[in-house]
Amino acid sequence: MMGSAQSPSLALTEGDLPTQQKYHGKRDELAYDPEAQEEVPLVPGLSKMDNALRWGFIKKVYGIMSAQLFLTALVAAVIMFNEPVQRFVMGSMAFQITCAVLPLVGLIPLFIYSRKHPHNLIILGLWTAAMSVGVGTACTLYEPFVVLEALALTASVTTSLTAYTFYAARKGQSFQKLGPMLFTCLWAFVAWSFLQIVFPMPPVGKTIFALLGAVLFSLYIIYDTEQLISRHDLDDYVIASLSLYLDIINLFLKLLQLLGNNRQ
**Total of domains in the chain:** 1
Is residue 13 one of the residues assigned to a domain?
Answer: no
Distances (CA, A) of 118 to 72, 74, 122, 124, 235: 21, 23, 6, 10, 12
Average per-residue pLDDT in the chain? Answer: 82
Is residue 2 one of the residues assigned to a domain?
Answer: no
Model-level pTM?
A: 0.81
Is residue 14 one of the residues assigned to a domain?
Answer: no
Is residue 40 one of the residues assigned to a domain?
Answer: yes
Owning domain of residue 27: 20-263
Largest CA distance in the chain: 60
Is residue 8 one of the residues assigned to a domain?
Answer: no
Which pLDDT value is given to residue 23?
Answer: 42
Give pLDDT < 70 ranges for the chain: 1-39, 45, 262-264
Is residue 237 one of the residues assigned to a domain?
Answer: yes
